[in-house]
Amino acid sequence: MVLSNFHTHSNFSDGSTEPSAYAAEALRQNLGSLGFSDHSPLPFPNTFALKEEETNTYCQTVQQLKEQYREKGLDIYLGLETDYIHGIGLPLAWFREHLPLDYQIGSVHLVSNHTSDLLWFIDGPDPATYDDGLMQLFGGNIRKGVTAYYNQINEMITAGSLDVVGHLDKIKMHNRGRFFSEEEAWYLKLIDETLHLIKNTGVIVEVNTRGIYKKRSDTLFPGPALLQKIKNLGIPVMLSSDAHRPEELIRLFPETTKLLASIGFRETYILTPRGWNAHPLNN
């Protein structure tokens, strides 16, 4: 399999170091392609997103690396992991039109309840943040909160301008069987609605290994049951590590490739100079 990773955070957002260190490590680990996807700028103070005034420097830095590494056999791509929040921030189409992006991952980390200015932060290392947000915005009603999460994902997919939907079921990360089972009928109904929307729009689903290697999730994003549905629907997938450090670039890729093959996948999608192409899993 051609080694590649298209979900990478440098210190332009919440990654550990400068983009050049990731490029050097990608070359050392024999990757054929590397995509940078720092978090899109947000219109409120935060510690993890790209700063608006540094956006052009980010684009220029990645484009310089692209030139520098092309002759060394590493294709570098400029991307963004754009945060989709209901009613807040620039639309994905804005980033597509105003920045020289090669691709865009759309993700939901902050969920709106449509009435309050507060947002439910469903990511990060601390389950207490998840629990507090669920209580404040949804009165502790997990079904309401999870429904708002998937509705926000559906809204993002419908809005368009994304190539890939990032860590689709990240909402389960701080659940771990505490609030709901992923086999409950209401949860499966939400999943089915979102997957049919994805199928109809042709968006790629990311298979993200980060939850497992950070020991925050027992399963991939999306988990095996969801991946089986994705396979059955013929939805394209892309394997990625959501690296925040150079050494994480292809973390758990051999194990995950095997798992995908056991589910029945024969290919994953990779960005090439001609666009997204299917690549055989075991080649």
- Interacting residues toward Zn ion by CB under 5 A: 81, 107, 242
Residue placing its CB nearer to Zn ion in the complex, 54 or 267: 54
The residue among 61 and 208 lying less far from Zn ion, judged by its C-beta, is: 208
Instruction: Tell me which amino acid residue 117 is.
Output: D
User: In the complex with Zn ion, which residue's Cβ is closer, 196 or 245?
Assistant: 245
CB of 8 to Zn ion, least distance (A): 8
In the complex, the smallest distance separating the C-beta of residue 216 from Zn ion, rounded to whole angstroms, is 12
Cβ closest to Zn ion, residue 35 vs residue 280: 35
Smallest distance from Zn ion to CB 9, Å = 6
In the complex with Zn ion, the residue whose CB is nearer, 81 or 169, is 81
Task: Give the number of other Cβ atoms within 10 Å of residue 139's Cβ.
Answer: 10
Dihedral pair phi/psi, residue 30, rounded to 5°: 65, 30
Distance separating alpha carbons of residues 265 and 253, to the nearest angstrom: 14
CB of 2 to Zn ion, least distance (A): 22
Minimum distance from CB of 83 to Zn ion (Å)? 8
Cα four-point dihedral sign 64, 68, 74, 75: positive
Distance CA 141, CA 265 (A): 36
Measured CA to CA, the distance from residue 150 to residue 168 in angstroms comes to: 9
C-alpha distance from residue 174 to each of 162, 163, 224, 236, 278 (Å): 26, 26, 18, 27, 33
Which parts of the chain fold into alpha helices (H)?
A: 19-28, 55-70, 92-98, 127-138, 142-159, 185-201, 210-213, 224-233, 253-263
Residue in the structure block whose two tokens are 């994705």: 230
Closest CB to Zn ion among residues 55, 107: 107
Q: Which two tokens stand for residue 161?
A: 């301008």
Nearest distance in Å: CB 166, Zn ion: 5
The residue among 107 and 268 lying less far from Zn ion, judged by its C-beta, is 107
Q: How far is the CB of 282 from Zn ion (least distance, A)?
A: 27
